[in-house]
Structure 1
Amino acid sequence: MSVSRKYRFASAAVAVLSTAAVLAGCSRAEENTGAPAADQGPAAEVRLGYFPNVTHAPAIIGVENRYFADELGSTTLTTQTFNSGTEEVNALLGGSLDIAFIGSGPAINAFTKSEGTIQLIGGAVSSGAQLVVKPEITSKEQLSGKTIATPSLGNTQDVALKKWLHNENLTGSVNVANMDNPQTFDAFRGGEVDGGWLPEPWSSRLVQDAGAHVLLDEKDLWPDGKFPTTVIIVRTAFLQEHPETVKAVLNGSLKATDWAAANPAEAKTAVNTGIKNLTGSELGGPVLDRAFANIQLSPDPNSSTFPQLAQDSVTAGVVGSADDLKGFIDLRPLNELLAEQGKPAVDAGGLQKN
């Protein structure tokens, strides 16, 4: 079920408190002294969160093709969709969500604010974010005095934009507006913003449907063009109490990823159908094709990038200091599944939970 308007307003109301918690900082996972929870077998219900975005394609396909439901068996799957990582983190911290497909920035924030009791357990999508602007803006210097939108304060794209502005000596000369992606689309067409640093399919929507052009593709800023756009996180207590349920969700995501690689045209259709079911509107063919061309579905969360991403939040002015991410990642359930399927293990980049 899609998260209600009432819920979104409530989440927005607590966002200020959540941001304050990020700034304060917290202790790390290994500093928690409580004994691990005992395995209680499969959960009666698992509550899964994700976005109605192309960058959450494995989640959408997993729901549409019933990969999650089939893997979960008798466990009830309850889904919620979100428009910002802040809302989704609040749901996890409030105990109303168990597992979430989420951006890399909010994933770090969730780990920090939870005092290390939320872990990253897998990847979903890499790449798929661009700075798109009005046609007359052809250089970074022309951004001075302009307004550029990002999905929400402190989210993955917000941090990426602010870090880039800092590196280009443009901090303070460019106005950054935080708004939901559909609002950015309307604001761009209405002339209220001059562009946006946006995830797919919204960068493609601005290009194909609103006349924007790409000033910068974020993949050009990363080695091999890979950076984590969407990852999978879980409440640690839920993982400890219901490890087989967590593995079932991970396996559903793996099946969705493998199916999409083998059936690219059908995968686009499944994602478009899922987005229409969730939002009431579907993407045009050119937008869908362009969006899928800009992303890579993979269970690898590109773990080695996370220390840099944590430092980027400092550079961007979102947090005061970079957090110690030791214990942030626990890829043991994922790597157990990959081993069973004869696939290579995914590296945790030295951030594995002990």
Structure 2
Amino acid sequence: MKAFRMLGGLALASALLAAPLACSAATLTVTHWGDGMYGAPFAVAMEKGYFKEGGIDVTGFITSEGGGTTVRNAMASEIPYGEVALPAAIAAIKQGMQITIVHGGVQSLADQLWVQNPDNTITSMAQMKGKTMGYSSPKSVTDLVSTVAIERAGLAGQVNRKPVGSSGSMMIALQQKTVDVAYITEPSYSAHKDLLKIAFRSVDIVPKETQTVGIVRTDYLKAHPETIKAIIDARRKGVAYLIAHQDEAAQILAKAYKMDLAVTKSAIQTCLQNDPHYWSTGGFDRASMDEVAKGLVLIKAADPGPFDWDKVIDDTLLPASERAK
């Protein structure tokens, strides 16, 4: 009888270890949720029930205009996790915040285009001599890309640059012709493409550059690795489903973002046509992360010298195939 009770206890313990996490309601932080393509895998994962499969009842998403605000939102949440801009993560780490990077996010600029009014005829950076580029704000990704573009085209000091703010104010700057070319990202481009003409694409300037990564507060990661693993797994499934079922994913994103289906369908197509690996399934592209670190030095947003990724990355919650990338 004693042996039977012992075996029964072991079986119960094994069952508890194998069982999924108990479902608890939570919100997750995703940069530019609702107006950027970074959130698409999360929208799919939520709709398809992948978070619940892992024991997490995701009830919604916290967002911001990006940068350090998104990092602070993530760290203050019940689950202190977020997919945030890599430059913001680097800045937070340099400021002493105890955070760990646990997965790759969006690993190229396939969603970012440089556009002009329909009557303009610019088709490459080589034609930008004496003209004006509109970027979003100082020390932003578009500040970085426009700086690199000018440098690589051999046009240093020959192209004007002007911060134009959000996509709404960017459209006004183009209409008023205070800039010749300006940045735009998906899905905003797909919503306004009848009014615009593409001059060039960011992937033509910087083929690979990681935009976002998943971060978590280090103490929480140590205490609750199973929760973070469940989030990573759900997002990875969301990416895989999105790529395999683009039409349905567009419907899901249209519902989540409250946008026209034609816009979300076009936006997904743009991202994947410009880079089939736009959304990482979790692995890191360190070469494209190095591009960000170098760019931050170029725009004087970081000190010179290589960034030691090994000190801040923990890839042990990823599948072996993703850790090998």
Judge same fold: TM > 0.5, yes or no.
yes
The residue type equivalent to 1:117 in the other structure is Q
Determine if the alignment matches structure 1 residue 163 to structure 2 residue 148.
yes
Map of 1:232 onto structure 2: 214
Determine if the alignment matches structure 1 residue 220 to structure 2 residue 204.
yes
Pick one of 85, 90, 94 that aligns with 1:108. 90
Alpha-carbon offset, residue 288 of structure 1? 4.9
Pick one of 309, 316, 321 that aligns with 1:332. 316
The 8 Å contact of residues 27 and 61 in structure 2, kept in 1 or not, is answered as yes
Provide TM-score, normalisation by structure 2: 0.76
Residues 304-343 of structure 1: per-residue CA shift (max 9 Å, x gap): 3323321211112333434633412111112xxx24xxxx
Pick one of 29, 47, 51 that aligns with 1:49. 29
SS at match of 2:105: strand
Map of 2:98 onto structure 1: 117
Determine if the alignment matches structure 1 residue 84 to structure 2 residue 88.
no
Flag structure 1 segments of 5+ consecutive residues without an equivalent. Answer: 1-40, 349-354
Flag structure 2 segments of 5+ consecutive residues without an equivalent. Answer: 1-20
Residues 196-227 of structure 1: per-residue CA shift (max 9 Å, x gap): 23432334455x23222132x232345xx443
The residue type equivalent to 2:248 in the other structure is E
Pick one of 259, 269, 273 that aligns with 1:293. 273
Map of 1:262 onto structure 2: 244
TM alignment of 1:1-354, pairs within 5 A: 46-50=26-30, 51=32, 52=34, 53-73=36-56, 77-92=59-74, 98-113=80-95, 115=96, 117-127=98-108, 128=110, 129-134=112-117, 135-167=120-152, 168-171=154-157, 173-205=159-191, 208-215=193-200, 217-222=201-206, 225-276=207-258, 284=263, 285-295=265-275, 296-299=278-281, 300-322=283-305, 324-326=307-309, 327-334=311-318, 338-339=319-320, 344-347=321-324
Q: Distance in 1 between matches of 2:214 and 2:304?
A: 24
Map of 1:32 onto structure 2: none
Identity %: 21
Q: Distance in 1 between matches of 2:171 and 2:79?
A: 29
The 8 Å contact of residues 152 and 178 in structure 1, kept in 2 or not, is answered as yes
Map of 1:352 onto structure 2: none
Q: Distance in 1 between matches of 2:41 and 2:61?
A: 14
Alpha-carbon offset, residue 47 of structure 1? 4.2
Alpha-carbon offset, residue 228 of structure 1? 1.9
Alpha-carbon offset, residue 88 of structure 1? 0.8
Q: CA RMSD for the aligned pairs?
A: 3.1
The 8 Å contact of residues 203 and 274 in structure 2, kept in 1 or not, is answered as no
Q: Distance in 1 between matches of 2:122 and 2:78?
A: 43
The 8 Å contact of residues 125 and 149 in structure 2, kept in 1 or not, is answered as no
SS at match of 1:317: coil
Q: Distance in 2 between matches of 1:96 and 1:192?
A: 44
Q: Distance in 2 between matches of 1:196 and 1:184?
A: 7
Residues 240-288 of structure 1: per-residue CA shift (max 9 Å, x gap): 2221111111111011012112212111221222221xxx666535455
Residues 163-203 of structure 1: per-residue CA shift (max 9 Å, x gap): 22233333573223151234323443453443323432334
Q: Distance in 2 between matches of 1:178 and 1:248?
A: 39
The residue type equivalent to 2:159 in the other structure is S
Map of 2:8 onto structure 1: none
The 8 Å contact of residues 123 and 302 in structure 1, kept in 2 or not, is answered as yes
The 8 Å contact of residues 61 and 274 in structure 1, kept in 2 or not, is answered as no
The 8 Å contact of residues 85 and 106 in structure 1, kept in 2 or not, is answered as yes
Provide TM-score, normalisation by structure 1: 0.70
